[in-house]
Structure formats: C-alpha cells, structure tokens
Structure 1
Amino acid sequence: MTDLAVRIEAILFHSGESLSLSQIAHIAESGEEEAHTALVHLEETLKNRGIRLVRHDRAFQLAVAPEQSGTITRLAKEELEAKLTRAAVETLAVIMYRNPVSKSEIDYIRGVNSAMILRNLMMRGLMDREPHPVDRRAFIYKPSLDLLRFLGVANQEELPDYTQTRKLLGDFLKQQEGEGQVVEDKEQAGTHQ
C-alpha cells in the first residue's frame, strides 16, 4: 500500500465519520487526484478484510465488512448491556456541560479520539447528534431527553456546578484557541448559550 493510502486509512480511522475527497486531500497534504488514486488503492486492499471503504457521493468512510455484521451485532449487544466506562461517563459530562458540542471539541477536551464512545452513547440513546449549523459535513452533540430524565433533571442547568463548570470548559477551549491549538467553531455558529 502506498504511503498516501496508509495516511488516508489513518485519517479515516481517526475521523470515525465520512470525509469528503477535498477534506481527505487537505488533511493528507496531497492533491485531490492523488488522494482519489490512493482511495481506489485502499479500497482494493481492504476488499478481503474486516473493514471496507464506503463511498457515498464524494464522501468516504471506513465501515465494517457486511460479512462481519453478525460478530459486530454480538459486540454491540454486549456494549449496550455493559456498564458505562469511565471514558463514556467523561464524554457524557463534556456533552452535558458544553451542550451543544462538536466532536473536535470533545476530542480536544478529552485528549483522545471519541468516535467509538460517541457511537456507543448514541446507540444507548444517551445523546443526540445533529448537523453542525455552520459545517454541514460535521455534527454537534447534545444530551438526549432520556439522559436528562435518567439523571432526574429538567435541563442541564440543574446539574451540579453547571455554570462554573461550563465556564471553565469554555475558558479552556478559548485559551487553547489563543495558542493556535484548537479552532472553536461554535463561536462562528452562535451556538454558545
């Protein structure tokens, strides 16, 4: 597999969501034509593996191979029946106190990729995902009504130390943005409360 195809595989794995050809090319620091050629190569390489490269319009994503669906169904059932992990609780806290919040913000605050945890929390019905108001290729995450009901609160403002914790998280993101380490896309969208 070419170096570019390997980089693109890593990009798609890390993202956990579909990316456009232009996004992939930009992140991989290549031209779109070279990225497309590498994607074709990656698709061919993955044909007999447990994951596949899925295309929809001009967007690409890694997904489980259809013949592995039974295995993944069993895994998903076990995940849903298991207790929430510390990482899942941490992610829920970020969503509750930062609502609405983008995946990039969650990842930055936690310091790790949260794609699999977000998927698990959505499967459990603990959060909702909506299109990002500015970037329709991305999503924002909010606590679900089921989560609020489970916690016994009418809204997130009833959470312990809500105002102070929300401000601390906001200040952290702004500080990092000032240092050029993260872009706060919700400021542009006017979605802060």
Structure 2
Amino acid sequence: MINKKIIKSAFESMLFVWGDPLDVKSAAEIFNLNWKDAYDYFKELQAEYEKEGRGIVIREVNKSFQFVTRYENNEYIEKLCTPVKEKKLSQSALEVLAIIAYKQPVTKVEIDSIRGIKCDRVIEGLIKKDLIIELGRSTGIGRPILYGTTSTFLKNFGFESLNDLPHIEDIGNVMHVEQELDDLDNQQISINFDGQ
C-alpha cells in the first residue's frame, strides 16, 4: 500500500489542478482508500496549511475540499487584480504608428519628413509600449535606425499580419494618414498598457 505522505502529496496536487471542490469519494477511489481515511488525510493537510499560516488554505465544502486564498490577503489580491487602465494612443502616436506600419522599415528622418514635425518622444513611447522595435540600421548616410511594428501591434489592433492593414493610397500625404487614423479611432480601438 502507498504510504500516507505520498497520498497527501498527491491530494495536494489534485486540489491544485482540480480548482473546484474535490469530492473525497473521487479522491479515495483513485487510491482504493476508504472514504474515512481519505477524509482524514484531507483534514491533516488542511491543518498543516493552517498551522503554517500559508497564503493558500484548504477549505472544506460539503465533504469536498478546495484550495482558496487566505481571507486576510484579499486586499493585496484586489490591488494586484485591479484591471489595467485602458488608454488610447494620442493622435501623434497613432500618426507615427501608421507611418511605421505602412512604410516599414522606416527611419526617424523619413517619419519626421512625412509628419512635418519631430517625433523622437513619440517613437520612445511606442517602443516602451512594445508597439514598435528597432529593426537594424539603414545603409544610408549615418546609418540611421530602421523602425518596424511588433507582434504586440498586430495583436492589439486585431491584425493577423501586416497584409490586414487597411489600404492607404499615399502614405506620404498626411491628410490621408490622418483620415485613416480618424476612422480607426472612431471604431474605438484602444489598447491595454501597464500604466505607462
């Protein structure tokens, strides 16, 4: 017969995987135990967790057992699980992102030229949000950095690939870019960020 320590260890693993209250009868059948022995093993496990003051406790529910978090820790769990604030990208960030998406690989000078305004800070912000990355360097004078979009960009905007991007006739025409972005913004596209 399997010793008690192994059975209790298995019960602990079963509780973790099962999630819902685990019926003592079902657990007992796995080991060909009688119901009373299985119940006693669960009670021992429950007492061990309680004695150690663990963050996870074993709760008995109608002669079944389940892992739950310790009630005193609810405040901390709520803080951790508070939904991330939904933030929309600014108009300038959307413009730069669209230019990069359609022209990639593209340099900052090319982006500045299309927008008619410097975009260093916007690019930094998009990199921090993992929407764009550095793809390498151009072979042009000064070997400027080339930028492109990330898989996070595709995921957050609901695209499977760059082929899914809406068609824009002339990316160099900022008016067209802004109109396309306005259309996207009107569709309530928003992205979850980690507080940045």
TM-score interval (norm. to shorter): 0.3 to 0.5
TM-score, reference length from structure 2: 0.41
TM-score, reference length from structure 1: 0.41
**Structure ranking higher on relative contact order (CA contacts 8 Å, 6+ apart):** 2
Max Rg structure: 2
